[in-house]
Amino acid sequence: MKMTIYIFIVVLLGILSGYYLLPNENLGSLVDITLTITIFFIGIGIGQNKHIFKKLKQAGLKILVLPIGTIIGSLLGGLLTGFVLERSLTFSLAIASGFGWYSISAGLLLPTSGAEIATIGFLANVFREMLAFLIIPFVAKKISPYSAISVGGATSMDTTLPIISQSTSEEYALISFIHGVLLSLSVPIFVQFFANL
């Protein structure tokens, strides 16, 4: 939760500086550069977890059922929102493709879809993470541990992992981690795809 507060403060400081100090700057290329560097270091972090690749081989294709289910379920939710609120369906799919990873998904949306969609995408994915914190214990107990993991989306490998692990068991924690890695890897692919449709 502490992290979420820091993130809000940093974004707010950015918004205030943009609003009052640099109202006429165009920082599109700066966003691109920062995003590319960030993704590079995230890649190193993912590559370091060599046991993931081993576990993936051991578990076989069945382990893909859960992440694919989360992807399709999230996209259906995005589509439904687009219908209900009468908003562009491709942008709705792009927003839902953040799977809770707000920094990268909003960074990807900004250059392709503009500030309004990027803001919605950022907030929607922040809210997804916050709601996930609140409901994962309930979903794990009353519905299923797999559904609980899917709520976290891409965050099931880091920020929501402790809660998932606490509300289920160690075995599910590993599944949750692998699920989060695969979801994270799919974020750039899906966001870019739908934003450019």
- Per CB under 8 A, contacts with other proteins among 34-73 are 34-48, 50, 53, 62, 65-66, 68-70, 72-73
CA distance 50 to 98: 25
Cβ proximity to other proteins, 106 vs 164, nearer residue: 106
13 binds other proteins (CB under 8 A): yes
Quote the least distance from Cβ 136 to other proteins, whole Å.
Answer: 10
Write the single-letter amino acid at 9.
I
d(C-alpha 44, C-alpha 64), whole Å = 23
Task: State yes or no: residue 160 binds other proteins (CB under 8 A).
Answer: no
Q: Which of 4, 7, 89, 173 binds other proteins (CB under 8 A)?
A: 7
Question: Minimum Å distance from CB 82 to other proteins?
Answer: 9
Q: Report the nearest approach of other proteins to the CB of residue 137 (Å).
A: 13
Choose between 24 and 58: whose C-beta lies nearer to other proteins: 24
Which of 119, 137, 173, 174 touches other proteins (CB under 8 A)? 119
113, 118, 159, 164: residue in contact with other proteins (rule CB under 8 A):
118
Interface with other proteins (CB under 8 A), residue total 102
**What distance in Å separates the CA atoms of residue 115 and residue 50, rounded to the nearest whole number?**
37
Burial of 71 (0-12, 13-18, 19+ CB in 10 A): buried
- Report 71-100 residues binding other proteins (CB under 8 A): 72-78, 80-81, 84-85, 87, 92, 95-96, 99
Closest approach of other proteins to the CB of residue 59, in Å: 11
Q: How far apart are CA 26 and CA 23, in angstroms?
A: 9
Q: Which parts of 21-171 are beta strand (E)?
A: none
The full length of the chain comes to: 197
Residue 94 Cα distances to 14, 56, 74, 111, 128, angstroms: 23, 27, 11, 13, 15
